[in-house]
Amino acid sequence: MFEAAVYKSRRKVLASKMNSGIILLPGNTEVGMNYHDNIYKFRQDSTFLYYFGLNLADFVAVIDVDSNESMLFADDLSMDDVVWTGPQPSVKELGASVGVSKTAPLSSLYKVIRDAESHGRSIHFVPAYRGDAKILINDLLGVAPSEQKSYASLELVHAIVSMRSSKEPREIEEIEKACAIGSEMHRTAMKMCKPGVKEQTIAGMLDGIALQGGGQVSFPTILSQHGETMHNPYHKGILTAGRLMLTDAGAETEMNYCSDFTRTIPVSGKYDSRQRDIYQAVLDCHNLVPTIAKPGVTWLSVHLAVSKLMTERLQDLGLMKGNVEDSVASGAHALFFPHGLGHMMGIDVHDMENLGQVHVGYDEVTRPIDQFGTNALRMGRNLEEGFVITDEPGCYFIPELVAQWKANETNAEYLNFDKIETFLDFGGVRIEDDVLITSDGCRFLGADRAPVEIDDIEAFMAK
Ligand code: GLY
Ligand code: MN
Ligand code: MN
């Protein structure tokens, strides 16, 4: 946790950005996996963490915008709880540790909400993503879960996004720690990657490294020879010489700041010539980002510059053809690169995604583009100092997609389907690092990034 003054100051700024009313901010509850008491590892809500810091279940916060007063509602542990889970400071002490002097049992929350309603005050909340929070909002405000998105406060969403987007130096320090754990995960994957090893053996080891770091994985580890499946959650394969292993994995620190890295390495320890060609094309795209990303440049324009370079490289390899600008405008590259170049990262790996991606990644000037591929770009707007964003181009050969585009002659004037069909057994390559936008450019985060250049990966794996 940061010191109390950090949270106090953030809440004051938040209140100053709102017109009037109260803000209702439910923290997360414990969730049973298969019965009530057999629980998933607890994960606090990130907005609650940002403003209240307490990494404990069953807290609800209220900020009175007009008086700039914060309140925390939670129940002290009973002796029965203490017997099973051990002691914990009182709610009053926990409140004091984050600069909140007004605390009360959860049951008092209802009266506070009734009072606000009876005075006709606005009650602001953000869209809930968990069942318990949806039920709480329903109980307190009478808004059915199916209607909560449209009743959520856009004013509050915009205020939160305006504060969480640029990371404070203390947050960058935490993200650097998450990067160090993430780097260790990827180095371990490179050491363990050999023909005959089960994907699950490596994936389990990586998850263990994240847990050893004090937090957990920042999202379910992707580790597969089927890199062409974007969020492949299965690790059932056995590594085979000649294949590529794609690992997309990261960690959270104890304070839940994230890292998110991808490396794609040859199971045999050396890339064959086809793998080398595709890998180098993706690496060139990845390395283009730090040369152009800086404040004042839209991330959408960086995504499109990468798409253009990818098109040029794939033309050099005989996979694409035609006028490059027209090809990018038509979205032909999305056959190979069907996702966005990157997303904001912070206390969430896809930072603030629960607030609504259009509010996080876009603004009145830069609007989402509804074209296959670019429609998966979670972030498009102008970059600002302090943004942390992932740089993750990829090139994939998805047999089902190739077959559909060929049958429909989609973008046929830009694609050499005969050549593409010789790559249907290839899989995919993605390379991902985390980037901090600085005052005049950007830099990769993580002092000791896992090897990424072809020679460095091969040398590391040969050790
Ligand atoms: N780990 C999912 C992503 O890279 O966005
Ligand atoms: Mn990733
Ligand atoms: Mn990512």
Claim to verify: residue 337 and residue 365 sit in the same structural domain? yes
Residues 280 and 311 in one domain: yes
Q: Which two tokens stand for residue 131?
A: 């069942």
Within 6 Å (CB) of ligand 1, which residues are found? 219, 248, 260, 343, 392, 432
Predicted pLDDT at 232: 86
pLDDT at position 454 over 90 = yes
Look at the pTM and tell me if it is higher than 0.85: yes
Across the chain, what does the average pLDDT equal?
A: 97
pLDDT higher than 90, residue 146: yes
Give DSSP secondary structure letters for 137-177.
HHHHH---GGGHHHHS-HHHHHHHHHHHSSPPHHHHHHHHH
Same domain, 356 and 416: yes
Q: Which two tokens stand for residue 167?
A: 């990371």
Number of domains within the chain: 2
pLDDT digits (tens, 9 = 90+) for 410-430: 999 999 999 999 999 999 999
Structural domain containing residue 105: 4-164
Phi, psi of 107 (to 5 degrees): -65, -25
Domain end point (choices 109, 135, 164): 164
Can you tell me the mean pLDDT for 186-214?
98
Across 343-367, average pLDDT: 97
Q: Which spans in 293-356 are helix H?
A: 299-316, 324-330
Answer yes or no: do 149 and 209 share one domain.
no
Ligand 1: atom nearest CA of 218 is 1
Average pLDDT over residues 147-175: 97
The predicted pLDDT at position 66 comes to: 96
Contact indicator for 108, 96 with CB cutoff of 8 Å: no
Given 146, 164, 182, the domain boundary residue is: 164
Last residue of a domain, one of 103, 136, 164: 164
Residues 238/201, Cβ–Cβ less than 8 Å: no
- What are the pLDDT digits (tens) for 332-342? 999 999 999 99
The pLDDT assigned to 49 comes to: 98
Indicate if the pLDDT at residue 233 is higher than 90: no
Mean pLDDT for the stretch of residues 75-91: 95
131 Cα: distance to centroid of ligand 3 (angstroms): 26
Q: Which long-range contacts (CB under 8 A, 24 or more apart) does 284-288 make?
A: 284/309, 284/313, 285/309, 285/310, 285/313, 285/393, 286/391, 286/392, 286/393, 286/431, 286/432, 286/433, 286/452
Domain identity same for 85 and 192:
no
Cβ neighbours, 10 Å, residue 16: 10
Residue from 206, 260, 263 to probe ligand 1 pocket by mutation (most atoms less than 8 Å from CB): 260
Q: How many CB atoms lie within 10 A of CB 281?
A: 23
Are 340 and 265 part of one and the same domain? yes
DSSP one-letter code for 2: -
Same domain, 159 and 176: no
Residues 132 and 260 placed together within one structural domain of the fold:
no
Based on the fold, state whether residues 270 and 358 are members of the same structural domain.
yes
Looking at the structure, do residues 107 and 245 belong to the same domain, yes or no? no
Mean pLDDT of 127-149: 97
Which of 186, 246, 343 best tests ligand 1's pocket when mutated (most atoms within 8 Å of CB)? 343
Residue 77's pLDDT is 96
The domain that contains 141 carries what CATH number? 3.40.350.10
**CATH number of the domain within which 198 lies:** 3.90.230.10
Give the pLDDT band of residue 63 (cuts 50, 70, 90).
Answer: very high
My answer on whether 207 and 83 are in the same domain is: no
Average pLDDT on 439-450 reads 96
**Phi, psi for residue 267 in degrees, rounded to 5:** -60, -35
H helical segments located in 317-356? 324-330
Residues 46 and 154 in one domain: yes
Residue 341 C-alpha to ligand 2 middle, in angstroms?
A: 11
Q: What is the pLDDT of residues 243-284, one digit of tens each?
A: 999 999 999 999 999 999 999 999 999 999 999 999 999 999
